[in-house]
Structure 1
Amino acid sequence: MAKMSLWARIKQFFAGKKSASTVENAQVKDGIWYAKQSDGTYLLGIDKSVYQLMGKITFADFPTQLKEIQVDDDLLDIEGDKSVETLKSPIAGTVIAQNHDIGKNVETLNEPNPQVNWIVKVKPAS
C-alpha cells in the first residue's frame, strides 16, 4: 500500500462529515483552518486533522514574533507523540492578535476546540 502524504490524509479526512468542533465556513490548508470573521479579518487555528496525525500535542511555541506574515510563513511549532511540525500560514496579512495561551497550557490544545486552539487573528493584505 502506498503511503499518503500529510495533505492527502487531511483532504481524505475532510471528505467525511463535519464534527461539532469544525469552524463554520472555514477553509483548511496544511493543518490550519482559517475563517473569515464579520469584521473582514481571518481567524487561524489548528485543524483537528493535526491531532489525528500527530497524536497528543506535548509542546507548542511561536517560532518568531509575528507582525506581518506571508503565505507559508511559520506560524506555530508543535511537537506531538508521533512527530514534530511547523504549521504554516495559509494567508498573508498583518497579525492583530496572537493566542499566547496555547504555549502556556498545552493540555488545552489536545481537545480540538476552535475557541481554544486558534493561533492568530489576521487582517488580510490588500
Structure 2
Amino acid sequence: MMLNWIFVSSFVLCLQVSASTFSQGTKVDLELHRVKLKEALNVLEKKGNIRFLYSEDDLSGSKDVTLVKSQIFVSDALMLLLKNTNLEFQELEDNLVVIRLRNASAADILVKGLVTDANGT
C-alpha cells in the first residue's frame, strides 16, 4: 500500500512539473472525418511525434470528431479535439501528454501494467 502511495505522489508531482511544450514549431496536417476520439489521438500521436497517456474509460463516452486543418500546431489540434468534452490535457517532458478528466484528483487515477526490459522479461 505504501508503494502505491509513493507512486501516486510521484505521478502528481510529475504532473505539476513545468515542462517545455512539445508543440513549439510542430505543425501537422489533419483530415479526420467522424472518427472516434481515440483514433484521432492515434493519428495526432503519429503525425506529431508525441505520446499520449490516458484511461480508455475516460474516452469511452466521447462522440465522433471531425477536424480538417493544414499546418496546425499539435497543441491547437488537441485543444480542438478535446473541446466540448470533459477532458483536459497537460504537456510533460519528452513529448508526453497526459489526458484526463477535468478536475480529476490523483486519487482517481489507477495505473496498471507490467514493466519489462527490451527482451520482454
Same fold (TM over 0.5): no
Q: Which has the higher contact order (CA 8 A, sep 6+)?
A: 2
| Higher strand fraction (1 or 2) | 1
| Higher helix fraction (1 or 2) | 2
> What is the TM-score when the length of structure 2 is the normalising length?
0.30
> What is the TM-score when the length of structure 1 is the normalising length?
0.30
Radius of gyration: which is bigger?
2
